[in-house]
Amino acid sequence: RDDMFRNKLILAPLTTVGNLPYRRICVEYGADTTLSEMALIYNLNRTQRSEWSLLRRHNTEGLFGLQVAVNRPGDAQQFAKAIEASGFSYDFIDINCGCPVELIVRQGCGCGLWEKKGKLRQVVQALVEYQSKPVTIKCRIGPDEADPQLHKHIGEYEEWGAAAVTIHGRSRKQRYTKLANWSYIEQCSRLTNLPVIGNGDIMGYSDVEQHRADAPNISSYMLGRGALIKPW
Protein backbone atom coordinates (compact mmCIF):
# COMPACT_ATOMS: atom_id res chain seq x y z
CA ARG A 1 0.00 0.00 0.00
CA ASP A 2 2.82 2.36 0.81
CA ASP A 3 4.21 2.07 -2.73
CA MET A 4 0.89 3.29 -4.11
CA PHE A 5 1.76 6.81 -2.97
CA ARG A 6 5.51 6.96 -3.62
CA ASN A 7 7.28 8.19 -6.77
CA LYS A 8 4.04 9.07 -8.54
CA LEU A 9 2.83 11.95 -10.68
CA ILE A 10 -0.74 12.48 -9.55
CA LEU A 11 -3.49 14.44 -11.29
CA ALA A 12 -5.32 16.56 -8.73
CA PRO A 13 -9.08 16.18 -8.28
CA LEU A 14 -10.43 19.13 -10.27
CA THR A 15 -14.07 20.00 -9.66
CA THR A 16 -16.10 20.44 -12.90
CA VAL A 17 -13.04 19.98 -15.16
CA GLY A 18 -11.38 16.80 -13.88
CA ASN A 19 -13.95 14.65 -15.63
CA LEU A 20 -13.38 11.23 -17.13
CA PRO A 21 -12.48 12.34 -20.70
CA TYR A 22 -9.97 14.88 -19.38
CA ARG A 23 -8.41 12.31 -17.04
CA ARG A 24 -7.99 9.91 -19.97
CA ILE A 25 -5.98 12.58 -21.81
CA CYS A 26 -3.75 13.11 -18.77
CA VAL A 27 -3.16 9.36 -18.44
CA GLU A 28 -1.95 9.33 -22.05
CA TYR A 29 0.52 12.08 -21.16
CA GLY A 30 1.93 10.22 -18.18
CA ALA A 31 -0.26 10.67 -15.08
CA ASP A 32 0.39 7.69 -12.81
CA THR A 33 -2.60 8.33 -10.55
CA THR A 34 -5.93 10.07 -11.12
CA LEU A 35 -8.77 11.06 -8.83
CA SER A 36 -12.44 11.65 -9.36
CA GLU A 37 -13.96 15.09 -9.12
CA MET A 38 -14.92 15.89 -5.53
CA ALA A 39 -18.18 14.12 -4.64
CA LEU A 40 -20.33 15.07 -1.65
CA ILE A 41 -20.99 12.08 0.59
CA TYR A 42 -24.29 13.70 1.70
CA ASN A 43 -25.51 13.42 -1.90
CA LEU A 44 -23.99 9.97 -2.47
CA ASN A 45 -25.84 8.63 0.56
CA ARG A 46 -29.07 9.92 -0.95
CA THR A 47 -28.29 7.98 -4.15
CA GLN A 48 -28.11 11.02 -6.39
CA ARG A 49 -27.18 9.53 -9.76
CA SER A 50 -25.32 12.65 -10.89
CA GLU A 51 -23.09 12.46 -7.81
CA TRP A 52 -22.37 8.74 -8.20
CA SER A 53 -21.48 9.32 -11.86
CA LEU A 54 -18.53 11.44 -10.67
CA LEU A 55 -16.96 8.25 -9.28
CA ARG A 56 -16.85 6.36 -12.58
CA ARG A 57 -13.45 5.09 -13.65
CA HIS A 58 -12.20 4.49 -17.18
CA ASN A 59 -10.32 1.27 -17.79
CA THR A 60 -7.23 3.20 -18.91
CA GLU A 61 -6.85 4.86 -15.50
CA GLY A 62 -4.15 3.05 -13.52
CA LEU A 63 -4.31 4.00 -9.87
CA PHE A 64 -7.62 5.72 -9.23
CA GLY A 65 -8.92 7.44 -6.10
CA LEU A 66 -12.35 8.65 -5.10
CA GLN A 67 -12.25 12.16 -3.66
CA VAL A 68 -15.06 12.84 -1.21
CA ALA A 69 -16.21 15.72 0.95
CA VAL A 70 -17.95 14.87 4.21
CA ASN A 71 -18.77 16.54 7.51
CA ARG A 72 -20.24 13.74 9.65
CA PRO A 73 -18.56 10.49 10.73
CA GLY A 74 -21.90 8.68 10.50
CA ASP A 75 -22.26 9.72 6.86
CA ALA A 76 -18.72 8.49 6.20
CA GLN A 77 -19.59 5.12 7.70
CA GLN A 78 -22.76 4.81 5.62
CA PHE A 79 -20.88 5.66 2.43
CA ALA A 80 -18.02 3.28 3.23
CA LYS A 81 -20.43 0.38 3.61
CA ALA A 82 -22.19 1.32 0.37
CA ILE A 83 -19.04 1.71 -1.73
CA GLU A 84 -17.64 -1.57 -0.38
CA ALA A 85 -20.79 -3.39 -1.49
CA SER A 86 -21.24 -1.48 -4.77
CA GLY A 87 -18.65 -3.10 -7.01
CA PHE A 88 -17.25 0.32 -7.95
CA SER A 89 -13.65 0.15 -9.15
CA TYR A 90 -11.24 2.28 -7.12
CA ASP A 91 -7.89 1.98 -5.35
CA PHE A 92 -8.20 4.48 -2.48
CA ILE A 93 -10.46 7.11 -0.95
CA ASP A 94 -9.21 10.67 -0.52
CA ILE A 95 -10.86 12.95 2.05
CA ASN A 96 -11.10 16.56 0.89
CA CYS A 97 -9.88 18.72 3.78
CA GLY A 98 -8.52 21.46 1.56
CA CYS A 99 -11.41 23.07 -0.33
CA PRO A 100 -11.49 26.76 0.72
CA VAL A 101 -14.81 27.64 -0.93
CA GLU A 102 -16.96 29.33 1.70
CA LEU A 103 -20.11 27.33 0.95
CA ILE A 104 -18.24 24.05 1.45
CA VAL A 105 -16.41 25.30 4.56
CA ARG A 106 -19.65 26.52 6.18
CA GLN A 107 -21.10 23.02 5.72
CA GLY A 108 -18.16 21.61 7.69
CA CYS A 109 -16.49 20.05 4.66
CA GLY A 110 -13.14 20.80 3.04
CA CYS A 111 -11.08 23.16 5.22
CA GLY A 112 -14.02 23.22 7.62
CA LEU A 113 -13.51 19.52 8.40
CA TRP A 114 -9.74 19.89 8.82
CA GLU A 115 -10.25 22.59 11.43
CA LYS A 116 -12.30 20.14 13.56
CA LYS A 117 -9.65 17.56 14.36
CA GLY A 118 -11.82 15.26 16.44
CA LYS A 119 -14.42 14.97 13.70
CA LEU A 120 -11.74 14.44 11.04
CA ARG A 121 -10.26 11.61 13.10
CA GLN A 122 -13.67 9.92 13.33
CA VAL A 123 -14.24 10.32 9.58
CA VAL A 124 -10.87 8.72 8.77
CA GLN A 125 -11.48 5.87 11.19
CA ALA A 126 -14.97 5.20 9.81
CA LEU A 127 -13.74 5.04 6.21
CA VAL A 128 -10.83 2.79 7.22
CA GLU A 129 -13.03 0.41 9.22
CA TYR A 130 -15.99 -0.01 6.89
CA GLN A 131 -14.30 -0.40 3.48
CA SER A 132 -11.13 -2.19 2.46
CA LYS A 133 -9.09 0.33 0.44
CA PRO A 134 -6.52 2.87 1.75
CA VAL A 135 -7.74 6.26 2.96
CA THR A 136 -5.80 9.47 2.36
CA ILE A 137 -6.12 13.06 3.55
CA LYS A 138 -5.74 16.12 1.31
CA CYS A 139 -5.30 19.34 3.26
CA ARG A 140 -3.69 22.77 3.35
CA ILE A 141 -1.08 24.22 5.69
CA GLY A 142 -3.73 25.78 7.96
CA PRO A 143 -6.26 28.63 8.05
CA ASP A 144 -3.66 31.42 7.69
CA GLU A 145 -0.29 31.27 5.94
CA ALA A 146 1.18 33.62 8.56
CA ASP A 147 0.65 30.92 11.20
CA PRO A 148 0.64 27.44 9.59
CA GLN A 149 -0.73 24.70 11.82
CA LEU A 150 -0.38 21.40 9.99
CA HIS A 151 2.95 20.50 11.62
CA LYS A 152 1.13 20.23 14.96
CA HIS A 153 -1.26 17.55 13.69
CA ILE A 154 0.26 15.58 10.80
CA GLY A 155 2.06 13.16 13.14
CA GLU A 156 -1.29 11.81 14.34
CA TYR A 157 -2.70 10.83 10.96
CA GLU A 158 -0.90 7.49 10.82
CA GLU A 159 -2.40 6.48 14.18
CA TRP A 160 -5.86 7.21 12.82
CA GLY A 161 -5.29 4.78 9.95
CA ALA A 162 -4.55 7.18 7.08
CA ALA A 163 -2.28 5.81 4.33
CA ALA A 164 -0.90 9.09 2.93
CA VAL A 165 -1.27 12.88 3.15
CA THR A 166 -1.42 15.37 0.30
CA ILE A 167 -0.37 18.88 1.33
CA HIS A 168 -1.39 21.88 -0.76
CA GLY A 169 1.20 24.41 0.34
CA ARG A 170 -1.28 27.26 0.77
CA SER A 171 -3.60 28.31 3.57
CA ARG A 172 -7.39 28.48 3.46
CA LYS A 173 -7.10 32.28 3.47
CA GLN A 174 -4.82 32.25 0.42
CA ARG A 175 -7.18 30.10 -1.62
CA TYR A 176 -5.18 29.94 -4.91
CA THR A 177 -3.19 33.17 -4.64
CA LYS A 178 0.50 33.81 -3.91
CA LEU A 179 3.04 30.98 -3.94
CA ALA A 180 2.77 27.57 -2.30
CA ASN A 181 5.12 27.07 0.64
CA TRP A 182 7.17 24.03 -0.36
CA SER A 183 9.68 24.42 2.45
CA TYR A 184 6.80 23.99 4.90
CA ILE A 185 5.55 20.92 3.00
CA GLU A 186 9.03 19.45 3.39
CA GLN A 187 9.06 20.36 7.09
CA CYS A 188 5.77 18.53 7.62
CA SER A 189 6.96 15.51 5.63
CA ARG A 190 9.69 14.98 8.22
CA LEU A 191 7.12 14.70 11.00
CA THR A 192 5.31 11.60 9.73
CA ASN A 193 6.14 8.13 8.44
CA LEU A 194 3.33 8.41 5.91
CA PRO A 195 4.02 9.22 2.26
CA VAL A 196 3.54 12.97 1.74
CA ILE A 197 2.34 14.19 -1.65
CA GLY A 198 3.29 17.78 -2.44
CA ASN A 199 0.88 20.06 -4.29
CA GLY A 200 0.99 23.65 -5.48
CA ASP A 201 2.45 25.62 -8.41
CA ILE A 202 3.82 22.65 -10.36
CA MET A 203 3.65 23.94 -13.92
CA GLY A 204 6.06 21.51 -15.58
CA TYR A 205 8.43 18.61 -15.04
CA SER A 206 11.30 20.97 -14.24
CA ASP A 207 9.36 22.03 -11.13
CA VAL A 208 9.11 18.39 -10.02
CA GLU A 209 12.85 17.94 -10.51
CA GLN A 210 13.55 21.07 -8.49
CA HIS A 211 11.32 19.92 -5.62
CA ARG A 212 12.98 16.50 -5.63
CA ALA A 213 16.33 18.21 -5.14
CA ASP A 214 15.14 20.72 -2.52
CA ALA A 215 12.63 18.56 -0.62
CA PRO A 216 13.82 14.94 -0.65
CA ASN A 217 11.31 13.70 1.94
CA ILE A 218 8.31 14.42 -0.27
CA SER A 219 7.13 11.15 -1.79
CA SER A 220 5.04 12.15 -4.82
CA TYR A 221 3.76 15.21 -6.67
CA MET A 222 0.24 16.37 -7.47
CA LEU A 223 -0.50 18.63 -10.43
CA GLY A 224 -3.64 20.76 -10.72
CA ARG A 225 -3.71 24.00 -12.68
CA GLY A 226 -0.43 23.17 -14.41
CA ALA A 227 -2.04 20.07 -15.91
CA LEU A 228 -5.06 22.11 -16.97
CA ILE A 229 -2.91 24.60 -18.84
CA LYS A 230 -0.65 21.97 -20.44
CA PRO A 231 -1.66 18.33 -19.87
CA TRP A 232 1.54 17.27 -21.61
Contacting residues for 167 by C-beta, under 8 A, at least 6 apart: 139, 140, 141, 150, 185, 188, 189, 196, 197, 198, 199
Single-letter amino acid code for the residue at 205 = Y
Residue type, 47: T
**43 neighbors 51 (Cβ within 8 angstroms):** yes
Catalytic residue selected from 26, 97, 99, 109: 99
Contact assessment for residue 226 and residue 202, using Cβ atoms and an 8 Å cutoff: yes
At 133, the amino acid letter reads K
State the Cα–Cα distance between residues 34 and 15, nearest whole angstrom: 13
In whole angstroms, what is the distance from residue 139 CA to residue 20 CA? Answer: 23
Residue 111 annotated in active site? no
Considering only CA atoms, which of 144, 222, 158, 228 is closest in space to residue 193?
158
Catalytically annotated residues = 99
